[in-house]
Each structure stands twice: as structure tokens, then as C-alpha cells.
Amino acid sequence: MAKRRQAVTIKHVASDAGVSLQTVSRVVNKEPGVRPEMASRVQASIDKLGYVPSIAAQRMAGSRSYLILALNDRERTIADWRARQGTDWLDQMLLGGMLTCAEHGYRMIVELVDTHSDHIERELMGAIAALQPDGVILTPPHSGNPLIINLLAAQGISFARIGSLTEGPGIRLIMDDTRAARIATEHLIAQGHRRIGFIAGPDDYELSAWRVDGWREAMAAADLEAVDLLGDGDFSYASGRAAAQALLALTRPPTAIIGGNDQMTLATLDVARERGMNVPRDLSVISFDDTPIIRLARPPVTAVVQPIAEVSARAVSLIIADLGQSPHDGTPVTVAAQLTLRESTAPPVAVENGT
Amino acid sequence: MAKRRQAVTIKHVASDAGVSLQTVSRVVNKEPGVRPEMASRVQASIDKLGYVPSIAAQRMAGSRSYLILALNDRERTIADWRARQGTDWLDQMLLGGMLTCAEHGYRMIVELVDTHSDHIERELMGAIAALQPDGVILTPPHSGNPLIINLLAAQGISFARIGSLTEGPGIRLIMDDTRAARIATEHLIAQGHRRIGFIAGPDDYELSAWRVDGWREAMAAADLEAVDLLGDGDFSYASGRAAAQALLALTRPPTAIIGGNDQMTLATLDVARERGMNVPRDLSVISFDDTPIIRLARPPVTAVVQPIAEVSARAVSLIIADLGQSPHDGTPVTVAAQLTLRESTAPPVAVENGT
DNA sequence: CTGAAAGCGCTAACAG
DNA sequence: CTGTTAGCGCTTTCAG
């Protein structure tokens, strides 16, 4: 392979325009203090020669790398890819993140990191040393990991934390899971449901607890008993089955169940079917994730739609702003999730009395 | 933002190990000509300090960038993301590509490029100048684009072309669409079908024609007439509807239809349902894409499973090999697709005579 | 087998 | 407002 060098460098532009390297650099970086006529002359040469700065050189010279790292959980991401169930968390993230990056001349690089590894630190530092990203986007469960957060802060890298409210450095963004859970629960209550179950996610995802909180709040506000209606899951289909089975085997089973994510909701649907129950007639179901599998299920499932693309876009914007003049003030940013009604929810056949 | 420098550089390692920069460099790059004891001493310092080379510096100094660019069609990719139908082409590509990259110390960067733009050249050159990737993976319809191919070849960049057999430079990889289409068709013939329709994709995808070829071959081999059974589509749902409607409105309609991709197959399913036909009793259907939407359809659809992850993995391996000692010889690489039987295919109710 | 010198493309810090 | 100088971290020569 022939040794490849930059085809057209800042030098070519400088000599073509008859100015110094520095002037070209200033024009490229839109720095002030260049006479308009000079600037347009330089710009003309840039366009003519098709000059594009090398990010490697820019980074080397102490400027930016124009790279933003999106850190995702390795195990879960690979499992989702392999399962081919249409889980599109990462896709939505790319949609929002990549496009926003592109608008600002940045690129997004996806990096998978083991959550439960004892050498997260080495992995992360390796990626940072190799790539020298200007910013990092953390997704759950990394976004709440103090090790990662402090490491990034120590490196002086701008980073966004999606789905975490844990105190600490970094730009925090949430989708207000508590509110979304409350709205979902209220919707069921408004339909006449009194016994509403909730299948929670695992503890290492902060949002698991938030969702439970929203459900609890709505139940309490309506004076409904919730204590025995909380199912225990870990986001997996199997855990969803177990939780749904336990809930439906109660003496006074719920007439509606909210699943903490799509897989557990799907499991609930299957368990209900196996028990000869019709959804939504005998059991209403709401999912806390609007993946294709939920949309294509029979019946199509009412779901909380997470604005992942929008959150990612915001995360990128905020990181880039933070890099520049307007450092982030630390206030968490909220992007509202929505409840999309479909055919899996209906008033209960026989309304029971709460408590 | 504090100016960030490499935390630990080759210099630190060199002084820690008491050797020259050069020796460290040789150890890092596994170059021969370093005494084992020396090498292990250096390696110890590397591990101790957690040194990771900066790819920016490596690239600057004329070495590799350890970056591989995955070029995808912008319009289609974004449309798929927005539609949230679970299309996981890109995900499968990342699965195979990213993991294989990681094994070799490379990173994969996804880049979206407009196919029909008149400035593809500028876009591509911009990405290359900015990132200086060591390799590029081209997906349809880019993989057959002579402008792109020649540009890459002129730059001396290793690149893989997935789904294109057009003559020219680059490592070609295909999934043997012709064979897959033949197998799908043969399966239907074996079930007793004589009138088998095929809905083709758009011309700018070479594989569209290959799939049609496989169907034609199988039909011809069984002495079946095919000429009036070719539907015209462009991979969109709407085009699939139109084609399916046209086919089913024939005087002697097909008893089975193979859709050129998932959306067109889905459209076929819907059209059949609207006409009061039961699948598979009144119409057998096979999809040429095994996306979640096809797997979750009612009934679950028999489909050709494209080994996208495997092809991407191979593409990365071949590019990296090409970069090193074993330049690729130009022979197209084939990875076989498989037919996964589900519930959308059955023998026809009344067997007609072909021709 | 190992080291020293030069330079990749660019920007920061100074001068003019 | 513009140009000059000195590196950034690494690999490539080319000497020892």
C-alpha cells in the first residue's frame, strides 16, 4: 500500500492564496481578525483545492479532535444485535447523535464497554488515549457509574450522562421516567383500573427506580394499594415471565400491568395468553419502551415512547456548546417522553375496589 | 476547558524503561529486531503506565490511522431509523464490523453519504481527508458506484465492496443472492407451486437483478413460465403494494410470491389480506430479508436470511489483511445466505398447470 | 540490534 | 491585522 499523505494541506492553500499558514488556519477556524478580502481569497483557494483539515493534525497541534465517543454497554448491545428483535436504542441514538455531530463538523464513534468489568478504567482510558475525543456520551448504566464519571472529569473531557441523576460532574439528561410512569398509570386509573401491577427493571439502571416511583405516586394519589403489585425483573424476557406469572397468580390479581421495558412487557403478553386471558379485555398492558416488537405485537401495545434520538441530539449540542463559550451549568435537562395509545389497554371488565 | 495533552506518551515509557523512543515504538508495533529481554522490559513499563498510542500521532507520522469507514446510503439509513420498523441492516453491520475491528485494534466509523448527490466526490474526499481511514467498506448502492470506487483506488485506500460484482478495484463480497433466490423458488416449486411471482427491487442495486436471475433460473429449470410474473418494485412498501396488486389481478395469478425485500413482502401480505386471501393457504409468501418485521408478521414469514454480520466481519478482516502482507487477489468472496422456513409457505390448494 | 534526527499537518504563542 | 517560531506524539529514515 502506497504511503498516503494528505493530498492537499494547509501549505498548499497558503501558497495558492499567497498568505501564511496562520492566516489559512484562522480562516478555517473562523477566528476573528482577518480582513474580509483576505478571508475570501483564502476561502476561494480552499474551495478550489478542496482542502479539508486533517483532524489528526488538528488534534496533534492541541486543538480539537472533532470526535465524540458514544459509550454503550457491551453485553447488552451485542445481545440486542444478536437477538435481532428490532431493539433500536442504539439506532435512535445514532439518528440523533450522528446527525447533530455532522451539523457541527463532528463525528460520533460508538464504543462498547463492559459494565461489570473490573478494568473499565483501563478500557476507557485506552479509548480516550487512542481517540482523544472532545466529548463522551454516557448511556445507562454507565451514566451513573462514579468511576467513569470521575475519570472523565479528571481528564477534563466534556461529557453527557443520559438517564442518570446521580450527583457529580457531567451534563445530565433525562426523559423524565417518573412522569412518564405516572402518566401511564393515570391513564389506566382513568380507565377504571384499580389493581395495576408494575414490573421493575434492575437496580443498576437508575431509571428503573424512577419508573417505579412514578407508578407509586400515581397509585398513592388515587388512594390505591400498590405494595403487593410490584414485580421484580431485570429487563430480560425470562424475568418478565416470572414477574407476570407471580402477579397474575395473586389472590386479587391486577387488571393491568405496566412492563418496565419491552421484553418484560412481551413476556407479560405471552403469560396472559397462556393463561387464557385476552388482552386488553382481561388484562391491560403498557410497555415502557416503544420498540418495533411492541408496535408489531398482537395486539399492538400502548407504550411510553422514549425520545432517544432527541436526547442524543441534545447531548451532542450541549457537549459542543460546553466545549466552547458556554460551559454547562449542571442543571439536568429533561426531554419529555410520551404515551402512545394502542390496542392493549381498555377498561377492566369488572371494576374491583382498591384496598 | 483545560488544554488536554496525552497523559502518558511514548516518551514516558521510554524514560521509564530506560530505552530510546524508537525501541518503544518497535515494541508497540511488534516489529522484529528487539531483544526479548528488552522487549519485555518495555512491555512492563507500558503496562505499568497504561500507555496507549495516540492514533492521531501515529497517523501523522505516516503510519496507520486504525480507522475503517463504513459508508452507507444517507437517505435510506435515516429513513429506516425514522420509520422505527426494526430494519437492522446497519446494526448487523456494526455487529460484524465493530467487533472484528476491535479484535485488530481498529475502530469503525459510520459515515452517511448521499447516493444521488452530484457532489459525492467532495463528500467522500472530505471524509477521507479529515479521518484518513485505512480502509473503507462500501454498501449498496455505493459499492457499485464507479465514481466512488475509482476515487478510493486512486487514493490507495483498501476497500471492500459489499453486494457488488461490477468489475473494478476493491475487495468484493456477495451473499450469493442468485443462489438464495433459486433456493427460495425451488422450495416453492417443491411444494407444488407452478405460478410463482417475484417482486424485484430497484436497478441501482445490483443485487436486485441477481435475485431476479435466481428466480428465473429456478423457474426455467422447472420449465415454468415466468415472464408475466415479475413485479416491479423499488424496495418501498408502496411499490410492493402496487406490484402485488398487479400480480394478484392477473387472469392466472401466482399462488406464491417472493418479495425482493422485507417492505415489499409486507405489502404483499397486506394486499393478500385485503383481497380476502389467507396466507399461506391461498398464497405462499417468502421474504428476501429477515428483519424483525418479517419475523413478527402474521403469519411469521419464511425468509432468506442475509448473513450481513458475517459479511461485514469478513470485509474488515480482508481489508486489514490487504493492508498488511497479503493483498487481496480480487476474487469475489461469497458468504451463503440461508432460507429460514416459517409459516407463510404451504402447498397450493389447487395445483395449476404451468404454461 | 539500538539510537538520533527529521518531519508529518496543524495551531498556540509570540512578534511585527 | 498578519507572519514567524516552536512544538504536539509518533514513525520514518539513517547512523552507530
Using pLDDT thresholds of 50, 70 and 90, give the confidence band for residue A35.
confident
The grid cell for B221 is 429449470
Task: Name the residue in chain B with its Cα closest to that of A157.
Answer: B1
**What is the mean predicted confidence (pLDDT) over A227-250?**
96
Name which of B1, B60, B62 is nearest A158 (Cβ-Cβ).
B1
* Torsion region of B266: left, alpha or beta (phi above 0 gives left; psi -120 to 50 gives alpha): alpha
Mutate to test the interface with B, among A94, A294, A310, A312 (most CBs of B within 10 A): A94
Beta bridge partners of A273: none
Choose between A49 and B326: higher pLDDT: A49
Residue A1 has pLDDT above 50, yes or no: no
**Contact call for B4 and A297, based on CB within 8 A:** no
Whether the CB of A74 is below 8 Å from some CB of chain B: the reply is no
Q: Which domains does chain B have, with CATH numbers?
A: 10-59 (1.10.260.40), 67-175+307-324 (3.40.50.2300), 177-305+340-352 (3.40.50.2300)
Write out pLDDT tens, residues A138-177.
Answer: 999 999 999 999 999 998 899 999 999 999 999 999 999 9
- In this prediction, residue B327 carries a pLDDT of 83
Name which of A62, A86, A92 is nearest B292 (Cβ-Cβ).
A86
Q: Given 3-state DSSP classes, what are the helix, strand and coil percentages for chain B, each rounded to the nearest 5?
A: 45, 15, 40
Question: What does pLDDT average to over chain A?
Answer: 92
Residue A352 has pLDDT above 90, yes or no: no
**A260 touches A286 (CB < 8 A):** no
Using pLDDT thresholds of 50, 70 and 90, give the confidence band for residue A32.
confident
Whether the CB of B126 is below 8 Å from some CB of chain A: the reply is yes
Query: A231 CA to D12 C1', in Å?
Result: 63
Kindly state the percentage of chain A with pLDDT values over 90: 78
Residues of chain B with pLDDT under 50: 1-2, 351-355
Residue A285 has pLDDT above 50, yes or no: yes
Chain B hits for A2, Cβ within 8 Å: 156
- In this prediction, residue A216 carries a pLDDT of 97
The grid cell for A91 is 439506532
Residues 7-26 of B with CB within 7 A of strand C: 19-23, 26
Residues with Cβ within 8 Å of B221's Cβ and at least 6 positions away in sequence, in order, are none
**Contact call for A90 and B85, based on CB within 8 A:** no
- What CA dihedral angle connects B303, B304, B308 and B311, to 10 degrees? 160
Task: Name the residue in chain B with its Cα closest to that of A80.
Answer: B91
Q: Which of residues 156-195 of B touch A (CB under 8 A)?
A: 156-158
**What is the mean predicted confidence (pLDDT) over A66-90?**
94
Q: Minimum mean pLDDT among A144-158, A174-188, A339-353: which range?
A: A339-353
Query: A23 CA to D2 C1', in Å?
Result: 7
Nucleotide nearest to A52 (CA to C1'): C9
CA–CA min distance A215, chain B (Å): 27
The closest of A311, A305, A309, A303 to A334, measured between CA atoms, is A311
- In this prediction, residue B211 carries a pLDDT of 96
Residue A5 has pLDDT above 80, yes or no: no
Q: Minimum mean pLDDT among A19-28, A44-53, A112-121, B42-51: which range?
A: A112-121
The grid cell for B13 is 515509557
Write out pLDDT tens, residues B204-226.
Answer: 899 999 999 999 999 999 999 99
Q: Given 3-state DSSP classes, what are the helix, strand and coil percentages for chain A, each rounded to the nearest 5?
A: 45, 15, 40
Residues with Cβ within 8 Å of B276's Cβ and at least 6 positions away in sequence, in order, are none
- In this prediction, residue A355 carries a pLDDT of 37
**What is the mean predicted confidence (pLDDT) over A98-119?**
92
Beta bridge partners of B110: B70
